[in-house]
Amino acid sequence: MRITVIRKVRRAKIFSLIPILYLLLTLLIPFVLNLKLVGAVNWKAIFENSHKIRFTIWQALLSSLLTMLLGLPGAYLVGRTRMHPLIKKSFRIMSSIPFVLPGITMAIGFFLAFGKNGLYTRLLQIFGFSVRILYTFTAVLLGHVFYNFPLFIRIVGEAWEGIDGHIIESAKLDGASNWQIFKFVELPILLPSILRAFFLTYVYTFTSFSVVLILGGIRYSTIEVAIYMYSRILFDFKSATALIIFQLVFIATLGYLTSTRFRTEERHYHTHLENFPRWGFGFLGLASALIFVPLVYSGLSGFVDFFGRFSLENFRLLFSEDLEYLVGANLTQIIFYTLLIASGSTFLAISFGMIAGYFSSRGMKIQYVVLLPTALSSVTIAFSYVLLQLPSVVKIIVVHSLINLPIVFGVLDAGWRKIPQSLLDSAKIDGAGMFKSLSNVVLPVMSRAVTTAFVYAFTISVGETSATLTLAEPPVMTFAVAVFRLMSSRNVEIAMALNTFYFAFVLMLFALVEAFKTEE
């Protein structure tokens, strides 16, 4: 009996090492090899860029706090109120899309909404206000909130939805007010999800590159912009490496400090819902103005011609022009490689995310290791693969899986926490092996989490631009890179048409998630 227990413990330890070994082989070893090629590190660069480091830390904190202030009420409305089913599904879908949009797609929507001749700029001018929003610190904050708002809706909203309704109803019977229920009952249960969403938001805003450059300009330089300047313009790889190492250590330390051990709660699958509050209508109006209007502008940009009028001319140009000459691949090749890369990277991210999520939900502090890719920008990860003699498709798939792993892990870890250990132990007592428990117990309960993780990973891979640009060689091409190259070569009309197709594809995927979502 004792030998059997020892074997099971050893087997569990071996399985827990699988995602760590994957990160070691695909992230750390290529990164270390690059460091050896660079040689000595210019540590003085950290002190020379101290003002950029302070600004990066401050803007990431402020962006994360604003995102949390907007995200938590949205998570409450989705998870704890009787929102109309159609409005709820539409809100979930529309609030999920910004997170997976490439920077260039987001820029199209923001320019049409907040630009010099944008909707909001003209509205403010009608009331006598002459306010410039783009190329300011406000625009940077708005862009970060736009991008990371979905994290709180998904991670915290689903955790709120999963709280056992009997606990809340018992607290109400004991005379507790809504504030007391939130403070003493809900908040302790939600804290792991809030910390994870806040940490991911902080990391994504800390390593922000495209949002800062597109919406703020070079005057609001962050560490990521400095790394780009050193590595791509000044070719000072020693200084770039110093900043990369600082960024990695800072994020890894923050991840360790915010990772707390929480036990898995037993669930009775009874949800207590409150009536939809009056302030909820005001919140939906604010979210629509800041998030959804630029989003809709971006999605409909393909129907807007050069003069701002409704037209189908952009789509005619898309199908008549020689795309292979413009971007290095035809439309068929773009679709094929986009789906191939997204499918391969999603499979890898979910496979290792499932293993890591299980051990994290059972108390092992594996999360700060799995979240290491967020401490490095996609460009930094991609540069580690430039000199490796591998097919570009393989390199892009691996890099995309590393980019996807943190968000996939966050979703699957929350899904594992819904499965009490007693349920898995009961399956073992009944003679179910690992694969039978996985197929008959785990996957049915975690189907929502797995589907959500799949859609996020797939769409993030489709929209990833910077790493793909670094590693892609014709005819390897994706939707996002094609849009970027078309915009760079001033083929704006074709880029907008292709962007509308991409937007419709992402919208369809998130609509499928909501369509197949069932009440537990």
Q: Does 122 have pLDDT greater than 50?
A: yes
Residue 31 binned pLDDT confidence (cut-offs 50, 70, 90)? confident
pLDDT of residue 372: 78
**What are residue 81's phi and psi, to 5 degrees?**
-125, 160
pLDDT score recorded for residue 92: 76
DSSP class of residue 268 equals -
* CA dist., res. 23 & res. 27, Å (int): 5
Judge whether 498 lies within some domain.
yes
Residue 212 lies in a domain: yes
Q: Say if residue 418 is in the same domain as residue 481.
A: yes
Q: Looking up tokens 């630009």, which residue turns up?
A: 115
pLDDT at position 428 is 66
pLDDT at 424: 66
Query: Is residue 270 in a domain?
Result: yes
Range with lowest mean pLDDT among 61-65, 262-266, 280-284: 262-266
* 103: in domain: yes
142 and 267 belong to one structural domain: yes
| Confidence band for 268, pLDDT divided at 50, 70 and 90 | very low
Answer whether residue 44 is part of any domain. no
Q: Which of 299, 324, 359 is the last residue before a domain boundary?
A: 299
Instruction: Please indicate, yes or no, if residue 47 is contained in any of the structural domains.
Output: no
DSSP 35-84: HHHH-S--THHHHHTHHHHHHHHHHHHHHHHHHHHHHHHHHHHHHHB---
Q: What is the DSSP letter of 264?
A: P
Q: What are phi and psi of 274, to 5 degrees?
A: -95, 160
Confidence of residue 520 (pLDDT cuts 50, 70, 90): very low
Query: Quick one: 367 and 279 in the same domain?
Result: no
Query: Same domain for 34 and 68?
Result: no
Do residue 114 and residue 160 come from a single domain?
yes
Q: Can you give the pLDDT at residue 186? A: 87
Where does 362-491 have alpha helices with state H?
367-370, 378-383, 392-416, 421-429, 434-437, 443-463, 466-471, 479-488
Let me know whether 126 and 212 are in one domain: yes
| One domain, residues 114 and 150 | yes
Could you tell me which of 462, 459, 440, 461 has the C-alpha nearest to residue 451? Answer: 459
- Residues 295, 147: contact at Cβ < 8 Å? no
Burial (Cβ within 10 Å: 0-12, 13-18, ≥19) of residue 3: exposed
Dihedral class, residue 140 (left if φ above 0, else alpha if ψ from -120 to 50, else beta): alpha
Residue 50 predicted with pLDDT over 60: yes
Q: What CA–CA distances, in Å, run from 124 to 31, 129, 188?
A: 49, 5, 43
Q: Residue 206 in contact with residue 59, Cβ under 8 Å? A: no
The closest alpha carbon to 207, from 377, 333, 54, belongs to 377
Do 277 and 215 share a structural domain?
yes
Domain of residue 240, CATH code:
1.10.3720.10
Please give the Cα distance from 285 to 400 (Å, whole number). 35
Residue where a domain stops, chosen among 243, 273, 299? 299
Q: Quick check: is 267 in a domain? A: yes
The pair of structure tokens assigned to 137 is: 């610190």
Distance CA(105)–CA(389), nearest Å, equals 32
Under 8 Å between Cβ of 478 and 338? yes
Q: Are residues 278 and 397 in the same domain?
A: no
**Would you call the peptide bond into 85 cis, given omega within 30 degrees of 0 as the criterion?**
no
10 Å CB burial of residue 95 (0-12, 13-18, 19+) is: buried
- N-terminal to C-terminal alpha carbon distance within the chain: 37
**Contact predicate 210/130, CB 8 Å:** no
Residue with tokens 């409704």: 310
Is 175 a residue whose pLDDT tops 50?
A: yes
Same domain, 450 and 506: yes
| Residue labelled with tokens 């504030």 | 179
Q: CA 129 → CA 55, 112, 144, distances in Å? A: 29, 18, 25
User: What CA–CA distance (Å, rounded) separates 403 from 414?
Assistant: 19
Residue at a domain's end among 237, 269, 299: 299
Predicted confidence at residue 199, as pLDDT, reads 85
Contact yes or no for 479/441 (Cβ under 8 A): no
**Are 344 and 440 contained in the same domain?**
yes
Question: Which tokens is 185 given?
Answer: 């009952």
> What is residue 450's predicted lDDT score, i.e. its pLDDT?
87
Q: How far apart are CA 153 and CA 75, in angstroms?
A: 5
**DSSP-assigned letters across all residues of 273-336:** -BPPPTHHHHHHHHHIIIIIHHHHHHHTGGGB-TTS-B-SHHHHHHHHS-HHHHHSS-HHHHHH
Query: Which residues contact residue 92 at a Cβ distance below 8 angstroms, ignoring those fewer than 6 apart?
Result: 78, 153, 510, 514
The reply to whether 422 falls in a domain is: yes
pTM score, two decimals?
Answer: 0.76
pLDDT at residue 342 greater than cutoff 80: yes
Distance (Å, rounded) from C-alpha 22 to C-alpha 31? 13
pLDDT at 262 over 60: no
**pLDDT averaged over every residue in the chain:** 81
Tell me how far apart the alpha carbons of residues 82 and 104 are, in angstroms, rounded to a whole number.
36
Listed ranges 106-110, 297-301, 342-346; the one with the highest mean pLDDT: 342-346
Q: Give the pLDDT confidence of 230-245 residue by residue, as tens digits.
A: 876 777 878 888 888 8
pLDDT of residue 421: 67
Whether 35 and 56 map to the same domain: the answer is: no
Q: Average pLDDT in the 407-434 region?
A: 73
Q: Is the pLDDT of residue 13 over 70?
A: no
Q: Which two tokens stand for residue 247?
A: 């960024």
Question: What is the residue range of 333's domain?
Answer: 1-39+312-520
Q: Which tens digits make up the pLDDT trace of 142-168?
A: 888 888 887 888 788 878 887 877 888
Angle ∠(193,195,200) on CA atoms, nearest 5: 95
Q: Is the pLDDT of residue 5 over 50?
A: no
CA within 13 Å, CB half, 156: 30
Report the percent of the chain where pLDDT is more than 90: 12
Number of domains the chain is built from: 2
Of 340-344, 391-395, 396-400, 436-440, minimum mean pLDDT range: 436-440
Q: Which of 82-86, 164-168, 247-251, 509-513 has the lowest mean pLDDT?
A: 509-513
Sign of the dihedral defined by the CA atoms of residues 101, 102, 107, 109, in that order: negative
